Amino acid sequence: MDTDPMSSEPHPSDVELLRAHVAGDPDAFGELFGRHRDRLWAVALRTMGNPEDAADGLQDAMIAAFRRAGSFRGDSAVTTWLHRIVVNACLDRHRAAKVRRVEALPEDVEDRGSLVAAATPADGPEATALDRERRQRVLDALATLPVEQRAALVLVDMEGHSVAEAAEMLGCASGTVKSRCSRGRARLAPLLLDLDATPSAPGPGNPPGPGTVQSPRSPRGPPAS
């Protein structure tokens, strides 16, 4: 169990909550879902492309997780298991509908890995407006990708998961995830060549943060100045 530093009451771990749910505790699953709801919602929203379909996909996933809790073997973290169920539920909905969403992805979710550097209020209203426009362009471009490529990029580039973790969630080989990410970035590159993801180029002294995507570049290198 984990202990809240502001309280002496121990908190059950994710695994303990899942086991309690399987044992019949009526509140355990709700507490588990509540812990991870925001991030699971962000994954569903970015994968599906709009709030309505994301809500349906997340609901499908939570029903599946509720029913399949007894099959959890502990080979991975509970959060990885939940992410895998959410992503697969969203992919199943995409495949069933046989559509490719092209709407702009919503921005009303917590950014866990901004695709472009965010302006701050201190930068002024013009910089803030430009930042919003640039971010929307990236999200619009991401929404044009085939869903399998989008899912891989959401997990690796936006949510900050490793390739191995994303492969486990998507139920495919690490090489497949790498290929989908590579193809997705290549498809984004022509749409975003004029965007600079960070104020200064990443390097040994300025590495990109976890889960932060640099603006896609051409396979031949950065665009000429």
pLDDT at 220: 35
pLDDT at residue 217 greater than cutoff 80: no
For residue 136, being part of any structural domain is answered with yes
Q: Residues 149-165: what's their mean pLDDT?
A: 89
pLDDT at 125: 67
For residue 16, being part of any structural domain is answered with yes
Confidence band of 134 (pLDDT split at 50, 70, 90): confident
For residue 98, being part of any structural domain is answered with yes
Q: Please tell me which residue, 98 or 130, carries the higher pLDDT value.
A: 130
3-state secondary structure (DSSP) of residue 186: helix
pLDDT at 9: 59
Cα–Cα distances in Å, from 172 out to 4, 153, 175, 223?
Answer: 37, 14, 8, 33
Confidence band of 123 (pLDDT split at 50, 70, 90): low
Residue 186 CA to residue 202 CA, distance in Å, equals 19
pLDDT at residue 197 greater than cutoff 50: no
Domain count, the chain: 1
Contact criterion met (CB below 8 Å) for 164 and 181: no
For residue 203, being part of any structural domain is answered with no
DSSP state of 104: P
The phi, psi pair for 213, rounded to 5°, reads: -95, 135
For residue 207, being part of any structural domain is answered with no
pLDDT at 97: 67
Convert the pLDDT of each residue in 34-52 to its tens digit: 999 999 998 998 888 788 9
SS3 content of the chain, % helix, strand, coil (to 5): 60, 5, 40
Look at the block and give the residue holding tokens 């929307």: 136
Cα–Cα distances in Å, from 141 out to 25, 133, 168, 190, 193?
Answer: 44, 12, 26, 10, 12
pLDDT at 47: 87
For residue 210, being part of any structural domain is answered with no
For residue 2, being part of any structural domain is answered with no
Contact criterion met (CB below 8 Å) for 160 and 103: no
For residue 222, being part of any structural domain is answered with no
Write the CATH number for 155: 1.10.1740.10
Which residues constitute the domain of residue 163?
Answer: 10-192
pLDDT at 89: 93
- pTM comes to 0.61
